[in-house]
């Protein structure tokens, strides 16, 4: 059964584009049933037909709680199997997370539990880390604290700045997210007892995947 994906995005949308390209190429058995944004100007929205776009500012919804409630209704209306935060930059409230628990995924640009939150590349550089990377995790009410499914690493190279490092991480983000979405679409992923499970096995440590990068 082709999985129905709702994508949440606030910016450029390169992760969304990777999903659309994989679906078009026949390497991901899914369809994008809506793209949802807190930023009406987000370039990500332009990557799908107008009928699939939804955007509201939190301000227009009467603030954070009103936004979450409006967003939740719009997402529920498209009956997604999975909801994917792909460069989504706004915290989701506990009520929202509870409503879609176990079906909410996020790609985060760090090797969690390192560097939850924002400015991950700068923080990895300042810490002098030799490696950095990206994680896909189930979203829980705790910011970037939900169980991690899979990770991919990249080296930090001499002379890197936050932009060159972000660009290297992005090269592995796209295939990492796609691989996890293939598992999700095939019904192989669950969240249970605070852990991620694949094929009925609890993931006490994340699955490490290797991908090409510069
Ligand atoms: N919501 C919950 N409940 N749990 C998570 O794990 C979430 C989430 C919403 C988004 C993505 C996340 C990331 O991968 C994500 C994970 C936004 C912020 C943030 O501080 C931090 C992390 C993430 C997303 N946002 C500010 C806020 O006040 C706004 C920042 C801005 O607009 O520039 O919401 O990194
Ligand atoms: C990606 O690097 C993603 O991991 C990160 O933002 C970028 C979005 O790129 N996400 C976060 O920082 C979440 N807070 P994209 O819009 O081109 O997919």
pLDDT tens-digit map of 22-52: 999 999 999 999 999 999 999 999 999 999 9
CATH of the domain at 94: 3.40.50.170
pLDDT tens-digit map of 153-196: 999 999 999 999 999 999 999 999 999 999 999 999 999 999 99
Rounded average pLDDT over 93-110: 98
pLDDT of residue 64 exceeding 90, the answer is yes
Domain-embedded: residue 214:
no
Q: Is 108 a catalytic residue?
A: yes
Look up the domain containing 144 and give its range. 3-209
Atom number of ligand 2 nearest to Cα 86: 18
Q: What pLDDT score was predicted for residue 47?
A: 98
Q: What pLDDT score was predicted for residue 172?
A: 98
> For atom 10 of ligand 2, which residue has the closest CA?
87
Cα dist. 34→40, 53, 76, 97 in Å?
14, 6, 11, 18
What's the CA-to-centroid distance between 117 and ligand 1, angstroms?
Answer: 6
Higher pLDDT among residues 1 and 107, named by residue: 107
Atom number of ligand 2 nearest to Cα 10: 16
Taking CB atoms and a 6 Å cutoff, what residues make up the pocket around ligand 1?
85, 88-92, 97, 106, 108, 117-118, 139, 141, 143-144, 146
b/e for 140-158, b at 16 or more Cβ within 10 A? beeebebbbbbbbbbebee
pLDDT of residue 1 exceeding 90, the answer is no
What total number of domains does the chain contain?
A: 1
Q: What pLDDT score was predicted for residue 115?
A: 98
What's the CA-to-centroid distance between 65 and ligand 2, angstroms?
Answer: 23
Domain-embedded: residue 35:
yes
Ligand 2, pocket-test mutation among 104, 109, 168, most atoms within 8 A of CB: 109
Q: What pLDDT score was predicted for residue 73?
A: 98
> For atom 31 of ligand 1, which residue has the closest CA?
89
């Amino acid at each position: 059964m082709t999985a129905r994906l709702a994508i949440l995005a606030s910016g450029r949308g390169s992760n969304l584009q990777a999903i659309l390209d994989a679906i078009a190429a026949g390497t991901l058995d899914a369809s994008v049933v809506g793209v949802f944004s807190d930023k009406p100007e987000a370039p990500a929205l332009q990557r799908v037909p107008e009928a699939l776009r939804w955007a509201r500012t939190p301000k227009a919804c009467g603030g954070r709680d009103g936004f979450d409630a409006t967003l939740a209704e719009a997402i529920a209306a498209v009956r997604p199997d999975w909801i994917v935060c792909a460069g989504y930059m706004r915290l989701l409230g506990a009520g929202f997370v509870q409503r879609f628990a176990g079906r909410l995924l996020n790609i985060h640009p760090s090797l969690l539990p390192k560097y939850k939150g924002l400015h991950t590349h700068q923080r990895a550089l300042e810490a002098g880390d030799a490696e950095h990377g990206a994680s896909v995790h189930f979203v829980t009410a705790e910011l970037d604290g939900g169980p991690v499914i899979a990770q991919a690493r990249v080296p930090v190279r001499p002379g890197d700045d936050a932009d060159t490092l972000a660009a290297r991480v992005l090269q592995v983000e796209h295939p990492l997210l796609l691989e996890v979405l293939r598992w999700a679409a095939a019904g192989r992923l669950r969240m249970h007892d605070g852990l991620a499970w694949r094929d009925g096995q609890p993931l006490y440590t994340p699955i490490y995947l290797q991908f090409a990068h510069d």
